[in-house]
Amino acid sequence: MIDDIFEAPMPASFPPLFTGEAVSGRTDPFAKACTQAIIGVDAGLLVHSITPDFIKAAIVFAPETPLEEAMVAMIACAVGFQNAMGALAPPEVGVHFGWQGEIYVNGGRAGRLRVAASGNDPSKEPDWLVVGLELDLLPQGEGETGEHPNDTCLMMEGCGDISPIRLLESWSRHTLVWLNDIETDGPRALHEQWRGLAKGMGDEVIIGGTSGTFVGVDAQFGLLLKVAGDTQLIPLSSILKTGGTA
């Protein structure tokens, strides 16, 4: 299945405004995209690496809004990924997201999204912003699967026949649709979509060392955490990886 796909690799076809750049499995696309953004590459660069074990990719954005508003690009990438999986995966496969970027497939953690920017001041417009995607195609680590009961991968969830490059293409197309929708109509529709995909809403969570109940998100996707009767707002920009750090 996955091995068969790699016997006959197919060229990527990304939508307008996206430029693909394939890198070897030893190169981290997220770090590469951040480096290119610092140098001054055009927005829309999509750096990607596909091996039999995983997909890694990162998109460079050039926001024209303050950082806190620009963080919506991460949510667009998340919902775009769910839409792509919905188009290619069996209908019984469910995709959800942790607020900090975790990707869950049928309840098991299968990857993550992460984001970096040129600065961390939420009120200032960043020079660039990068959103990275990591997805496990095969089980990771050593030992029996039972040693990692909360982890999964596409093969284990009946998605081994999905072409990784076609999944990346679909991700980029669906993400572009959401970015265009945000630009035209604002984030309301994206907000509604994401709320239905958020994992752990209503549950006890620990964010940045603080424990409380995840009761929802605000208009800019900041997490609303109920702690001892009070509701605290944790901005989405707080999960930022400065300069492309892991």
Domains and CATH numbers, the chain: 2-200 (3.30.930.10)
Please give the Cα distance from 244 to 246 (Å, whole number): 7
d(CA 70, CA 42): 17
Alpha-carbon distances of 82 from 29, 63, 67, 74, 116, rounded to whole Å:
20, 23, 24, 13, 21
Rg (CA), the chain: 18
The contacts of residue 13 (CB under 8 Å, 6+ apart) are: 169
HEC string for 120-155: CCCCCCCCCEEEEEEEECCCCCCCCHHHCCCECCCH
* Predicted structure pTM score: 0.91
Mean pLDDT for each 10-residue chunk of the chain (246 residues)? 44 88 92 96 96 96 97 98 97 96 97 96 97 95 61 96 96 97 95 95 91 95 94 95 54
Predicted local distance difference test score (pLDDT) of residue 141: 67
How high is the pLDDT of residue 3?
A: 44
Summarize pLDDT for 125-179 with one digit per residue, the tens. 999 999 999 999 999 865 445 567 789 999 999 999 999 999 999 999 999 999 9
* Strand, coil or helix: 14: coil
Cα distances (angstroms) measured from residue 84 to each of 77, 164, 215: 10, 11, 27
Determine how β-strand 102-105 pairs with β-strand 54-61.
unpaired
Q: How many CA atoms lie within 13 A of 27 on its CB side?
A: 14
The predicted-structure confidence for 235-244, as pLDDT tens digits, reads as follows 999 999 754 4
Cβ contacts of 83 within 8 Å, gap of 6 or more: 170, 174, 177
